[in-house]
């Protein structure tokens, strides 16, 4: 019986042995038992790492060090940097190095033995070398003289110059990989960007190259409105230092006609600038209307017609507006309005007009011209309407604005949104100090931003329809020798949705707009108080002007503070 039991147990044990053979635990070998080797060296007191990798079929692992460090500098890397490198390595699982990795002189060959998972030995030789740079990229491209951007597409090795008009031959600004060269070099050679150009960028090593194609492209427009964040200051000119305008307190108005920005200074011929560069071009002769109270203010319409006005009653009781089609035409009388009235004592007096006039539209087609009454807490303005290129009447309508919390005194500007007498319009003034949106059909207040709490002077408004959006520029000038101000704002007034809150200027020259309608602003940067030794803006003169480019891709805002700066800002509607 015992023999039977033993036989059964033996059979079971034998079955277990034959059916459950142990797994093969021999480790797999790796094709690359060593993944990388890193050298840490000291450069100007800073630890810097450089890594080398094995190459299949070679026993050498070479760690490359750049010719310059940092690579964008001209600091040559010394060969001595390689002589005391702290070494580390990345190994596959279950792989060891027989020799301890501590420090190496990488100017020499350093042999190591690597033992893989199956105990096979591999010999590697680690060394270092300083190599010339191989990067050859165009990193950035633009044409500053024409305010044009270039879009670099690295994968396609192309550059798109975004432009609509025919371009003159010009220099470009280009940034390429450190220590590379470019041929032709657009930084020193004027090139024609109306045709496709090829640029070859050659790396520092003199061998590695890339060729880029450069083409002028007409950029797509946004579906509506300007591109937020597209603002660019295209010029900022000091009246005295840059434009040699030494007459203080008398510069009052800005206008745009064609490629020119025109600046009106009372009793002087108008100054003409290139409106894209700010460079002085010439002057415009004002002849018979030149005088301290005759060419008191100037503005322009959508077609570049210029309008000049006198100041009543300082220049008599007849308010006059002269026009010119451009800078080469002498102004001719367009409007005469009897601004006189009989006071309570039977004496003839004159209403005050002419510190500002505004026009929306064009004298060649349809337009609305406004001229505020000035005086204690006024709420009235004169309005002329132009239909089909002709004045509807030489006699203006007197419009009374209803619902304003406070009227204005000697500073106010009123601008319509559209060239129609039923259009809405905006008022910015002192003492009201609130940018007011008025319903044109009823002349009642539609909406107003919070009243600004400072004693500075808002007195200029301009409005432009641009790529389906409606934009408003306005100001606040400082006439004191203390405090902040000299503020400029650009607002989106396409709808009333964001038209709430305020502009919130304060006495410290800071402004934190709370209205979401504000798109761009400048604070205390371009007034005379920003120029050491400049006279104060005693009359509080300032102006703003909005104008599109001929192709409709750009909107330009021009502004000035008397005795300070005249500035040009470019915005666009590019879809990019």
pLDDT for 20 equals 44
- How many degrees, rounded to 5, is the angle at CA 415 between CA 394 and CA 377? 90
Confirm if 331 and 306 have CB atoms less than 8 A apart: yes
158-162 and 209-217 as β-strands: parallel, antiparallel, unpaired?
parallel
Q: What is the pLDDT of residue 506?
A: 59
pLDDT at 176 > cutoff 90: yes
Helices (DSSP H) in 338-493: which residue ranges? none
- Residue 23's pLDDT band (cuts 50, 70, 90): very low
Answer yes or no: is pLDDT of 365 > 60. Answer: yes
* DSSP assignment string, 3-55: HHHHHHHHHHHHHHHHH-PPP--PPPPPS-SEEEEEEEEEETTEEEEEEE---
Q: Report the pLDDT averaged over residues 472-481.
A: 96
Whole-angstrom Cα distance, residue 181 to residue 197? 16
Q: Residue 29: pLDDT band by 50, 70, 90 thresholds?
A: very low
* Torsion angle of the four alpha carbons 209, 211, 212, 213, in this order, in degrees rounded to the nearest 10: 170
User: CA angle 136-141-145, nearest 5°?
Assistant: 145
The per-residue pLDDT of the chain, averaged, comes to: 91
Q: Which of 540, 573, 542 is CA-nearest to residue 558?
A: 542
Q: Alpha-carbon distance 398 to 378, whole Å? A: 12
pLDDT digits (tens, 9 = 90+) for 533-559: 999 999 999 999 999 998 888 999 999
Q: Which residues, listed in sequence order, are joined to residue 246 by a DSSP beta bridge?
A: none
pLDDT, average across residues 1-18? 37
pLDDT at position 7 over 50 = no
For the record, the structure tokens of 568 come out as 């040009």
The residue among 20 and 512 whose pLDDT is bigger is 512
Residue 383 has pLDDT above 50, yes or no: yes
In this model, does residue 323 exceed pLDDT 50? yes
Residues ≥6 apart with Cβ < 8 Å to 431: 377, 406, 407, 408, 409
pLDDT confidence tier of residue 510, bands split at 50, 70 and 90 = low
- Higher model confidence: residue 508 or residue 341? 341
131 - beta bridge partners? 66
d(CA 305, CA 298): 11
CA–CA separation, 475 vs 487, rounded Å? 6
Share of the chain above pLDDT 70, in %: 93
Of 21-30, 91-100, 319-328, 438-447, which range is least confident?
A: 21-30
Nearest of 279, 180, 160 to residue 220 by alpha carbon: 160
d(CA 365, CA 346): 42
- CA distances 209 to 103, 135, 143, 268, Å, are 36, 8, 24, 59
Residue 242: its pLDDT value, please? 97
C-alpha–C-alpha distance, residues 72 and 498, integer Å: 46
Question: Quick check: 545 and 464 in contact, CB under 8 A?
Answer: no
Residue 2 has a pLDDT of 38
Residue carrying structure tokens 């975004």? 162
Answer yes or no: is pLDDT of 349 > 70: yes
Q: The tokens of 142 are what?
A: 């633009």
What is the predicted pLDDT for the residue at 10?
38
> CA angle, corner 429, sides to 426 and 434, nearest 5?
70
Residue 1 corresponds to which tokens in the numbers above?
């019986």
End-to-end CA distance of the chain: 96
Q: How far apart are CA 248 and CA 152, in angstroms?
A: 47
Alpha helices in 314-433 (DSSP H): none
pLDDT exceeds cutoff 90 at 420: yes
* Separation in Å, CA 71 to CA 177, 241, 285: 9, 41, 57
Joined tokens for residue 271: 């100054």
User: In the structure encoding, which two tokens stand for residue 547, read together?
Assistant: 């104008």
Question: Between the CA of residue 308 and those of 472, 536, 555, what are the distances in Å?
Answer: 22, 25, 24
Calpha distance 428→517 (Å, rounded): 15
Backbone angles phi, psi at 207, to 5 degrees: -115, -45
Residue 320's contacts (CB-CB under 8 Å, 6 or more residues apart) are 294, 309, 310, 333, 335, 336, 337
pTM for the model: 0.71
pLDDT at residue 509 in the model: 52
- Least confident piece of the model among 13-17, 64-68, 101-105, 358-362: 13-17
pLDDT of residue 151: 84
Cis amide bond preceding 184, omega within 30: yes
């Amino acid at each position: 019986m015992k023999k039977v039991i033993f036989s059964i147990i033996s059979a079971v044990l034998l079955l277990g042995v034959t059916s459950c053979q142990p797994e093969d635990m021999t480790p797999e070998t790796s094709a690359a038992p060593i993944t990388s080797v890193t050298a840490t060296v000291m450069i100007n007191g800073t630890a810097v790492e450089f890594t080398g990798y094995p190459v299949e079929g070679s026993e050498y692992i070479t760690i490359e060090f750049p010719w310059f460090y940092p690579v964008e500098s001209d600091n040559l890397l010394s060969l001595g940097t390689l002589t005391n490198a702290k070494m580390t390595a990345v190994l596959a699982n279950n792989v060891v190095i027989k020799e301890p990795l501590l420090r190496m002189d990488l100017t020499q060959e350093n042999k190591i033995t690597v033992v893989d998972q199956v105990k096979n030995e591999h010999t590697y030789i680690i060394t270092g070398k300083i190599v010339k740079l191989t990067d050859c990229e165009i990193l950035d491209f633009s044409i500053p003289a024409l305010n044009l951007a270039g879009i670099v597409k690295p994968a396609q090795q192309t550059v798109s110059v975004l432009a609509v008009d025919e371009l003159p031959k010009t220099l470009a600004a280009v940034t390429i990989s450190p220590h590379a060269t470019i041929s032709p070099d657009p930084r020193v050679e004027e090139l024609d960007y109306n045709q496709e150009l090829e640029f070859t960028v050659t790396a520092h090593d003199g061998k590695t190259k890339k060729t880029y194609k450069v083409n002028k492209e007409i950029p797509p427009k946004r579906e509506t409105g300007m591109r937020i964040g597209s603002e660019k200051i295209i010029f900022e000119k000091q009246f005295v230092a840059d434009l040699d305008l030494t007459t203080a307190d008398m510069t009052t108005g800005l206008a745009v006609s064609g490629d020119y920005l025109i600046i009106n200074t009372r009793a002087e011929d108008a100054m003409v600038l290139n409106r894209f560069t700010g460079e002085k071009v010439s002057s415009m002769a004002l002849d018979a209307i030149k005088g301290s109270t005759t060419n008191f203010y100037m503005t322009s319409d959508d077609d570049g017609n210029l309008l000049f006005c006198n100041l009543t009653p300082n220049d008599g009781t007849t308010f006059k507006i002269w026009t010119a089609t451009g800078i080469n035409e002498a102004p001719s009388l367009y409007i005469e309005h009897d601004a006189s009235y009989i006071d309570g004592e039977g004496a003839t007096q004159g209403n005050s007009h002419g510190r500002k006039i505004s026009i929306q539209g064009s004298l060649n087609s349809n337009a609305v011209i406004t001229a505020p009454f000035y005086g204690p807490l006024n709420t009235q303005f004169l309005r002329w309407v132009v239909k089909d290129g002709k004045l509807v009447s030489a006699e203006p309508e007197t419009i009374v604005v209803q619902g304003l919390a406070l009227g204005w005194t000697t500073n106010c500007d009123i601008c319509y949104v559209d060239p129609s007498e039923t259009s809405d319009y905006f008022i910015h003034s002192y003492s009201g100090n609130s940018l007011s949106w008025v319903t044109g059909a009823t002349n009642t207040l539609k909406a107003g931003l919070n009243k600004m709490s400072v004693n500075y002077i808002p007195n200029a408004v301009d409005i432009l329809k641009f790529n389906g959006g409606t934009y408003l520029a306005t100001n606040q000038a400082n006439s004191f020798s203390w405090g902040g101000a000299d503020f400029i704002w650009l607002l989106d007034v396409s709808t009333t949705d964001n038209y709430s809150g305020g502009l919130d200027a304060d006495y410290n020259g800071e402004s934190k707009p709370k209205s979401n309608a504000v798109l761009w602003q400048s604070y205390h940067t371009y007034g005379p108080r920003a120029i050491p030794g400049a006279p104060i803006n005693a009359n509080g003169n300032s102006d703003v002007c909005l104008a599109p480019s001929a192709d409709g891709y750009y909107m330009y805002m021009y502004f000035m503070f008397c005795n300070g700066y005249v500035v040009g800002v470019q915005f666009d509607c590019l879809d990019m």
